[in-house]
């Protein structure tokens, strides 16, 4: 499976435009973070691009979220990359996050939505207008983007990356695909 094939699957299974943007953002962040942890940027991006593949299919049955992705990838696409499949399961707490890849994907998932919310509340409504200070002030406001679980975002520190560096790298990754994200 390569990036192009993964994007074709996203196009096939994801109908919700904002969900597709979220998936692209998570892919970009994972690719950007991989070298910090000695990971392969292409494989980490793949984990990001595939992590919510079944989200539209399981929205009324969240217990099945990620299990359906595993079934689709294994049974229909002969994809048996256990490291990536486990990271997909772990991001939705279907297994404990144990490996570095699993832990980073878990922390990235709420962070992209948080950064989108920061951009939307900024007067310029652009990712390009954000900086670390702006994000940190919003991070401390509990009612801002309340759906972005701060403990889950901060869990990146358990794998040795300070939150400030994490936010900066994720912002840079998302700025790199700003036109895809419409921000």
Q: Give, for 159, the enclosing helix (H) or strand (E).
A: none
Eight-state DSSP code of residue 118? H
**Which residues of the chain form contacts with Fe ion (CB under 5 A)?**
52, 109
- Please return the burial class of 104, using the count of CB atoms within 10 Å of its CB with bins 0-12, 13-18 and 19+: buried
Least distance to Fe ion, CB of residue 24, Å: 11
Q: Copy the structure tokens of residue 4.
A: 């192009």
Q: Which residue in this structure is represented by tokens 């994007």?
A: 7
How far is 130 from 151, CA to CA, in rounded Å? 22
Q: Which is nearer to Fe ion, 61 or 131 (CB)?
A: 61
DSSP string, 21-39: HHHHHHHHHHHHHGGGGT-
Q: Copy the structure tokens of residue 154.
A: 């901060």
Least distance to Fe ion, CB of residue 92, Å: 8
Q: Which is nearer to Fe ion, 52 or 54 (CB)?
A: 52
How far is 162 from 157, CA to CA, in rounded Å? 5
Q: Which is nearer to Fe ion, 87 or 159 (CB)?
A: 87
Q: Which residue in this structure is represented by tokens 């074709």?
A: 8
Least distance to Fe ion, CB of residue 55, Å: 7
Least distance to Fe ion, CB of residue 109, Å: 4
Q: Which is nearer to Fe ion, 55 or 79 (CB)?
A: 55
Q: Which is nearer to Fe ion, 54 or 109 (CB)?
A: 109
Least distance to Fe ion, CB of residue 137, Å: 24
Q: Which of 122, 96, 98 is nearest to 175 (CA)?
A: 122
Least distance to Fe ion, CB of residue 26, Å: 6
Q: Which is nearer to Fe ion, 29 or 130 (CB)?
A: 29
């Amino acid at each position: 499976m390569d990036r192009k094939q993964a994007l074709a699957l996203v196009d096939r299974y994801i109908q919700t435009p904002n969900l597709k943007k979220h998936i692209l953002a998570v892919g970009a962040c994972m690719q950007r973070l991989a070298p910090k942890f000695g990971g392969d940027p292409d494989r980490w991006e793949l984990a990001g691009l595939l992590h919510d593949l079944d989200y539209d299919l399981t929205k009324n049955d969240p217990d099945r979220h990620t299990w359906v992705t595993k079934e689709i990838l294994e049974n229909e696409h002969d994809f048996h990359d256990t490291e990536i499949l486990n990271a997909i399961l772990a991001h939705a707490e279907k297994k404990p996050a144990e490996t570095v890849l699993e832990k980073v994907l878990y922390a990235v998932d709420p962070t992209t939505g948080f950064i989108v919310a920061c951009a939307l509340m900024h007067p310029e409504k652009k990712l390009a207008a954000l900086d670390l200070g702006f994000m940190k002030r919003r991070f401390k406001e509990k009612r801002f983007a309340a759906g972005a679980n701060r403990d889950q975002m901060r869990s990146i520190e358990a794998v040795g990356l300070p939150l400030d560096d994490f936010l900066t790298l994720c912002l840079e990754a998302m700025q790199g695909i700003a036109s895809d994200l419409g921000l």
